[in-house]
Amino acid sequence: MAGYIGKSQGVTLLNVESNTVETADIQDGAVTAAKLDQTYLTPTGDGSQLTGIEALPDAIDVDASAPADSLNIDSSGNLLVGKTTSAGGSAVIGVDLRPNGTFNLSRDGANLAYFNRQTSDGDIVQFRKDGTTVGSIGVDVDGTNLIVSNGVVGLRFVEGSNQIRPANGDTGGNRDNAINLGYAASRFKDLYLSGGVYVGGTGSANYLDDYEEGTWTPGVSVGTASTTNGNYTKIGNTVHVWGYITGFSNTTNNEPQNVTGLPFTPAGNRASGSAMWDYVNGDNRYGTVYVTSSPSYLKFYDASRDNGFDDIRCIDMDGSGTSVHFTATYYTNS
């Protein structure tokens, strides 16, 4: 038995054939729209013949004023709504439901589908492989937020708090301290944050809000220097600096020679480091570094003198060949 349903410019509306013999043919104009949805033909027990016309419940309504070819079944068994061909798939506006299970939807400038679960919370859409659920999209335990999950591993999108939380898809609630992001052999690459991260805990002491690496140009407090370069790393409120200076212009003044231009202002006088000098008082010297906040200086001290720590002064330098390598660690409020 074969058949088609359609409306096309005053020709056949309904044609039913059995064994290639036409058994029913309703022509446009012969039946009104009000009566067309009230009858149907019933087959015999084995389906080989159609017998009789019976009353049809109000479950199907065919409106004669509907656009031509609103509903079609083509020769390949594709069900077409709002289109006349399955060619082009989802590129052509309309609905295309195919016997192989493909479902193509296309609409111009608007939503393609609405899924509305009423009364209870839970899955709205399930995705399955060979009958086994591999994922779902649903609503959380509050009934207001989206959850995307595979079993107990999920993400909960909480609009009111501007948060994406790890979630349990089975319960619709949060899942704390259980879901990893990536793993050793499959890592994410870069992470871009405008704020900080809590590492190892949720208290203020666990909050890391800054990491920075860069270069800085050390200056000197007396005179000039021909060559200066430096690097720094800032982790939270802790700053590590490295530097090199040579070619001091002033080697006669009795004032202490300090380093200026620190990349971040020190928070108090509570930092130290070390320095290695070349050509100071006719010798190579190792000393300590002390960081002050007001003024913002890195100060050098010679620990080899008998009277304890003493400033390295301009007059201690043996000409322009004097150089120093230094490092220091200090705190900052920046």
In this predicted model, what pLDDT tens digit does every residue of 250-268 receive, in sequence order? 999 999 999 999 999 999 8
Place of tokens 């022509």: 27
**Average pLDDT of the segment spanning 272-285:** 84
% pLDDT > 90, the chain: 61
Place of tokens 């289109």: 83
Residue 44 has pLDDT above 90, yes or no: no
Residue 146 has pLDDT above 80, yes or no: yes
Question: Is-contact 291 273, C-beta < 8 A?
Answer: yes
% pLDDT > 70, the chain: 78
pLDDT of res. 166? 97
Distance CA 245, CA 41 (A): 101
Residue 45 has pLDDT above 60, yes or no: no
Among candidate residues 276, 285, 277, the one with its CA nearest the CA of residue 321: 277
**Average pLDDT of the segment spanning 149-167:** 96
Question: What's at 149, amino acid-wise?
Answer: S
Distance CA 219, CA 229 (A): 9
pLDDT of res. 20? 47
Query: Helix, strand, or coil here: 176?
Result: coil
pLDDT of res. 33? 37
CA triplet 150, 156, 161: central angle to 5 degrees?
175
Residues 6+ apart with CB under 8 A from 88: none
Confidence of residue 47 (pLDDT cuts 50, 70, 90): low
Q: In this structure, what token pair is assigned to residue 75?
A: 């020769």
Helices (H), the chain: 33-36
Residue 6 has pLDDT above 80, yes or no: no
Residue 135 has pLDDT above 90, yes or no: yes
Distance CA 183, CA 199 (A): 17
Distance CA 233, CA 97 (A): 61
Distance CA 153, CA 175 (A): 8
pLDDT of res. 157? 97
**Average pLDDT of the segment spanning 314-328:** 90
Residue 249 has pLDDT above 90, yes or no: yes
Confidence of residue 282 (pLDDT cuts 50, 70, 90): low
Q: Where in the chain is the domain with CATH 2.60.40?
A: 213-331
Distance CA 78, CA 68 (A): 17
- Average pLDDT over the chain reads 83
Fold of 213-331: Immunoglobulin-like (2.60.40)
Q: For the whole prediction, is pTM greater than 0.75? A: no
